[in-house]
Structure 1
């Protein structure tokens, strides 16, 4: 490897490492470290239950088989249990419902066992608990902004890592009957890891929380003391608590004696039987000197070391694909385009006119030909005397290449919405690489994304108006309303319809009506005026983009196209497959974090930013090649084609999501499947709008550049 290549690789490696380190080192600006003194209360917050096999989430206190809040206040704390914690927009969008619990946790105070409550449940509640255990739901509790974690150790016992949340229970076979039984975790060992606070707070006895682990256990009702706690919570041979209510066979026979329906088991009958579930917990504090407060999230990134090589492989794959396409673009530009422009483009038609004039004078002086008008260029090109080089290919389209496309009034708002999404995506990636957006700011990614999307409405209106004006549009108000209402309106409608299904399931995934109203206000009261202001500036204060060639009054007829050019959809999908190949490897980690392992966090935004930059370059190169092939075929309908070629990789991302659903996920239920495919399609539409806009602008700049070198009147 040459020294300059090693230098480039080393520089790139340092950039990625810097981004990765920044994502761990920085937290939200303005939020200081929270330290606790001995015996000071640390509030434990309960959030929700979620599963990798379902898109439906449930607020913790909405579950009928957990301890409800008592409404009591903790010492030195202003809010009572059950009080809802103020949430940002992102937390509500991701289904969080955070409330204060009744757990009594004080810094440095170990509790061997503390009784919480006895929860009485019916058969219906028991069936719900069994279904959630079967669905592998996990619970999320929060202590000092850290989610309660399940601790794991690697096979070689060299490294420890966390998985956010802990399971509700488990399934096992009853050794006596051999039937499958459901067991509920009703005792929780809470382990809080702390260290001395940095700076002056630590000198004054302050301590900070650097780890929060939850070890659940299932303990049967029997063998409990007067306080309600088991006699021995640390024993390994304790009988677990089975979710089972025995049925009364006599009552079953009498109840359904005159009915044609007879339940198959006691679980199906409604006999009013109940079951009591006792809940207890233990608290243990351990000092952890080798973990800094700023690095306490590192253990949640469990695949950091193992996946680094794969991320580099994704970058190398992207570089290879982008490099091959770049070489093709260099050939097109350096040999074909520049050769055409320099060899036959500059002054080509003027030279033809001079030759025609000399030929006319020669023929007139010899008396062989008399003309009353100047000979045409076509007559000279068909002559055998002093033949001129024929004008072919893309140069023939100079009078039609900038002809406004059909349905330009739709393309302009799409490009404006694409610019809006590009601004949002670039902003999110930049803030994530800087470490401002990280797991410690719960919901920050969605909140900032919504804010950037609304603010970018001004850019959307401006670019949409300029494109619309370039197409010759006159009704700028209509274009403004389409830009402001088309994509956001479809987005809001889809979210509202899906919300109805979530409401029917009593899931916390459903957005509250107040949140929907707030989103509508952001859309109609903030973004709409910004789009209108940007459109006014782009239409009246800015001129239309000037083109280097004039457009003919009569459109040129497009000749018969080759087989691969006739089906433009096929051409676009084929080009989109190239861009998808750049994104494919990194997409594996994104899907795993979103769907397969919701307890993990996607954190490698440095790698994702590099992949995104290479993806944009690849899309630009693909669009240049596809546009040049189209122009060489004397087809000037490139406006929509460039947009479709740029956004076609979104189709393959959706195909990948369908394959991922069928082969990797185990999502059950109609509503969960509907949510998965609807939000996947929405994400792919956002991706296609952004990449389609990149392709459109690339093709526009490319064509302006090449036709700017050919001087024709």
Structure 2
């Protein structure tokens, strides 16, 4: 019952699938114009409250409903009442709703905003609309003072909103600005469920190069799977034949005759990985992240999460919380099979590894956001809510998964006996060293996804709404297959060189994909964007590092899992005691 009450509280807290109203209006019902944020056009994440600029609000200061979720607070959404009176199907001719006396301070604020190309965002019935503060003409600074709203309706629902900025006024100190608005209602045939289509950009996301990249990655998968199957099966067949051809020779002679190859390390290949506590925590977290990514992409395909503010983030937090038993199960069972005794410590590290990484990064960036008075600063109440989710949802569920994992799959079942004394690792050529293998292992997986990375980066760091989650799911599956194939080949080469340190090597070999993603993120920042300033730079590189770290854990886990199955298969086929 405690867990049930906790889940109910979390769902209510997240509000992932709740809305402020049902989007149905009767004639003359109030329609709220929410003012959200304002900020530089080229720095999308550097946003400030709309009224941080000396804009003025209308006389209306009370509404019948309000809507804000935890995910909106995390994303810097700051909805404030505009004070502009709008009623359903009621046209409003040009009218003054407020005025501002431009003293020296307010004049400088508007000039700074115009000079830095400030845009603002508003919402009407959850539909976003954008406007520009002003423009520079011949070294003069002008501000738009008239907002013309054209709102389309279909029956009792709002299906389209457009804004036109008019009445360009020269900014002059010690003058008064009068802000006006106009509302025009138009009947529209757009269906309510299709009203977000105007915000999508099919010509960009469904460009020919996007389809070509998917086809190219798919061909790479076929090639790699075929190559891995051909090389490994032919090589292993020869190895099996060589290792089993002299069945009539006694064990000592057969052992003396095998002086090379992967069979030589059969007594050490299942030796526990170094730093097994950290390793098992990473593997548990990676299984959970893999499940979360697949689930969220599936929900996004089925539910069109991009149509609701903050719904994608809310869904991600909710899915991550409820999949915590996956983390505990795989991490706890692996740690038990490796002979670990500090299972409570391992469970705590596994439960808080990713949350601590996320919260630590957000906490550091939050200091900069607070210094800039940006809307991206996370409120204290939201921090408390996230902490409660970690302590009262993620931790107990991870504990449940750990106990199940240790009891159901925690017994060692290696096909080969582990020697008491580790075998010395012979010298090998430089390109067979684990460090070189790790760096080369991420090249092909990155090559299979880097085009999709461009579309994802553009949607997050520019004014695009990502909606082609079918593409993302396909690329995600391709990435996992390529990672497994590449990691198996690298591990086989390492074992053939009589180096049994395959656990960490297979993990880091796949995880190095994220290193190349981060390198691409650096390139994208300098050559594909016009971002500037300390806040935007820290925000970009901080969260891209977090994104890359999550990808490293996920890819590393998938690579290790595939390699583990392969290693168990080859050593169980060759019967060795």
Asked if structure 2 preserves the Cα contact closer than 8 Å seen for 1:420 and 1:457, the reply is: yes
2:157 to 199, 208, 219: 208
- In the other structure, the counterpart of 1:330 is 229
Asked if structure 2 preserves the Cα contact closer than 8 Å seen for 1:322 and 1:617, the reply is: yes
- In the other structure, the counterpart of 1:242 is 170
- In the other structure, the counterpart of 2:266 is 398
- In the other structure, the counterpart of 1:22 is none
Q: Secondary structure at the match of 1:635?
A: coil
Q: How far apart are the structure 1 equivalents of 2:277 and 2:75?
A: 35
Matched, 1:455 2:322: yes
Matched, 1:581 2:546: no
Question: Could you tell me the TM-score, scaled by structure 2's length?
Answer: 0.92
Q: How far apart are the structure 2 equivalents of 1:519 and 1:504?
A: 22
TM-fit CA distance, 1:622: 0.6
Q: How far apart are the structure 2 equivalents of 1:582 and 1:313?
A: 11
TM-fit CA distance, 1:33: 6.0
- In the other structure, the counterpart of 1:185 is 144
Q: How far apart are the structure 1 equivalents of 2:437 and 2:193?
A: 50
Q: How far apart are the structure 1 equivalents of 2:179 and 2:255?
A: 94
- Change in Cα spacing, 1:124 to 1:561, as seen in structure 2 (3 Å) is farther
Asked if structure 2 preserves the Cα contact closer than 8 Å seen for 1:89 and 1:446, the reply is: no
Q: How far apart are the structure 2 equivalents of 1:378 and 1:441?
A: 66
Q: Which is richer in helix? A: 2
TM-fit CA distance, 1:587: 1.1
Asked if structure 2 preserves the Cα contact closer than 8 Å seen for 1:193 and 1:211, the reply is: yes
- Change in Cα spacing, 1:313 to 1:628, as seen in structure 2 (3 Å) is same
- In the other structure, the counterpart of 2:12 is none
Matched, 1:611 2:475: yes
Root-mean-square deviation (Å):
2.2
State the Cα deviation string for residues 179-220 of structure 1 (Å, max 9, x = none): x1221111111000122x3xxxxxxxxx32211000011x3x
TM-fit CA distance, 1:122: 3.2
- In the other structure, the counterpart of 1:371 is none
2:515 to 628, 644, 651: 651
Q: Secondary structure at the match of 1:280?
A: strand
Q: How far apart are the structure 2 equivalents of 1:323 and 1:544?
A: 36
Q: How far apart are the structure 2 equivalents of 1:134 and 1:648?
A: 42
Q: How far apart are the structure 1 equivalents of 2:542 and 2:230?
A: 42
- In the other structure, the counterpart of 1:315 is 214
State the Cα deviation string for residues 359-378 of structure 1 (Å, max 9, x = none): xxxxxxxxxxxxxxxx6545
Q: Secondary structure at the match of 1:241?
A: strand
State the Cα deviation string for residues 229-259 of structure 1 (Å, max 9, x = none): xxxxxxxxxxx312232xxxxxxxxxxxxxx
Matched, 1:688 2:556: no
Q: How far apart are the structure 2 equivalents of 1:277 and 1:303?
A: 40
2:27 to 27, 34, 38: 38
- In the other structure, the counterpart of 2:286 is 418
Q: How far apart are the structure 2 equivalents of 1:38 and 1:552?
A: 82
- In the other structure, the counterpart of 1:283 is 183
Q: How far apart are the structure 1 equivalents of 2:360 and 2:273?
A: 29
What are structure 1's unaligned runs of at least 5 residues? 1-26, 80-84, 149-164, 174-179, 198-206, 220-239, 246-273, 357-374, 382-389
What are structure 2's unaligned runs of at least 5 residues? 1-15
Asked if structure 2 preserves the Cα contact closer than 8 Å seen for 1:311 and 1:586, the reply is: yes
Asked if structure 2 preserves the Cα contact closer than 8 Å seen for 1:52 and 1:667, the reply is: no
- Change in Cα spacing, 1:308 to 1:544, as seen in structure 2 (3 Å) is farther
1:555 to 412, 422, 426: 422
Q: How far apart are the structure 1 equivalents of 2:523 and 2:438?
A: 21
TM-fit CA distance, 1:125: 2.9
- In the other structure, the counterpart of 1:91 is 72
- Change in Cα spacing, 1:349 to 1:69, as seen in structure 2 (3 Å) is farther
Asked if structure 1 preserves the Cα contact closer than 8 Å seen for 2:361 and 2:543, the reply is: no
- In the other structure, the counterpart of 1:506 is 373
Matched, 1:591 2:457: yes
Matched, 1:170 2:160: no
How many corresponding residue pairs?
Answer: 561
- In the other structure, the counterpart of 2:37 is 48
- Change in Cα spacing, 1:626 to 1:523, as seen in structure 2 (3 Å) is same
Structure with greater Cα Rg:
1
User: Aligned runs of 1:262-273 on 2, under 5 Å?
Assistant: none
- Change in Cα spacing, 1:561 to 1:134, as seen in structure 2 (3 Å) is farther
Asked if structure 2 preserves the Cα contact closer than 8 Å seen for 1:428 and 1:448, the reply is: yes
- Change in Cα spacing, 1:70 to 1:104, as seen in structure 2 (3 Å) is closer
- In the other structure, the counterpart of 1:667 is 531
TM-fit CA distance, 1:583: 0.6
Matched, 1:466 2:466: no
Asked if structure 2 preserves the Cα contact closer than 8 Å seen for 1:572 and 1:648, the reply is: yes
- In the other structure, the counterpart of 1:516 is 383
